[in-house]
Structure 1
């Protein structure tokens, strides 16, 4: 999920508060794979001429991964 928000407290500027989401065919935490879709989403939801107060990317729907290798389980502390 990517999000963008302008300053909600300044009555002299337009307000923007939008979000977009995208799914990957398989889970990843590889930054290179995350940058391009995030940039596309931020370009789609941002408005020209409105200064952003906050914008970014959140990972949602992530599953915790467990190590199932017996050797790993015996040596991990």
Structure 2
């Protein structure tokens, strides 16, 4: 088990609270789990967004999506758990 990644159990709890699911109106997120992993990487390392590894996608795209999610999603996640 990779201790630096979300477990399947953790992801199953968080997934329904995420934006961009196929059942949501509007745009869908390509990979919400990878996006959350990118945010957790930034939080763990304290690195600037520009240093986000390319395996997580373009840093600026991840950063903009993070800003959009701040009030809409993270508040729900943290208030639920």
Normalised-by-shorter TM-score class: under 0.3
Q: Of Structure 1 and Structure 2, which has the larger fraction of its residues in strand?
A: 1
Q: Normalising by the residue count of structure 2, what TM-score does the alignment of the two structures yield?
A: 0.25
Q: Of Structure 1 and Structure 2, which has the larger fraction of its residues in helix?
A: 2
Q: Normalising by the residue count of structure 1, what TM-score does the alignment of the two structures yield?
A: 0.26
Larger Rg: 1
Q: More relative contact order in 1 or in 2 (CA 8 Å, sep 6+)?
A: 1
